[in-house]
Amino acid sequence: MMINGENLLKTLITSSNGKYNPIRNFTVEELKKATNNYSQNNFVKSDAICKLYKGFQQERSVYVMKFGDEIRSSLDGYECCFNNIAFASQMNQKNVLKLIGC
């Protein structure tokens, strides 16, 4: 896990020209609690790389992306994930969901 965190941090810093915008790290337990253990009642949609769930974290509405095993088992999958997180962390527009953590 630490290696992935290090690689994610490098991607975030590189993508923002050295001006890293910190995001919060959530534990597996926090994400399970927020989505009621990834309940089908909280399922929103899925695509080729992830499933999207709605939930609540500290009484705020949140959306959680759960990536499939095929992403976790490939280096290209991790790189794609890191790039998506880096891109989302820089988004700041009122009509777009804001990334608060991963």
User: So what's the pLDDT on residue 2?
Assistant: 45
Q: pLDDT, tens digit, for every residue of 12-51?
A: 667 667 666 667 778 889 999 999 999 999 999 998 778 8
- Going by pLDDT thresholds of 50, 70 and 90, the confidence category of residue 53 is very high
Copy the structure tokens of residue 92.
């700041």
* 53 within 8 A of 62, measured Cβ to Cβ: no
Give the separation between CA 102 and CA 100, rounded to whole angstroms: 7
Residue type at 51 in one-letter notation: K
Residue 62 φ/ψ region, left for φ over 0, alpha for ψ in the -120 to 50 degree band, beta for the rest: beta
Give the separation between CA 25 and CA 9, rounded to whole angstroms: 11
Highest-confidence segment of 12-26, 48-62, 66-80: 48-62
DSSP summary character for residue 77: H
Strands 43-46, 50-57: pairing is antiparallel
CATH code at 2-90:
3.30.200.20
User: So what's the pLDDT on residue 1?
Assistant: 43
Domain boundaries of the chain, sorted by first residue = 2-90
Predicted structure pTM score: 0.68
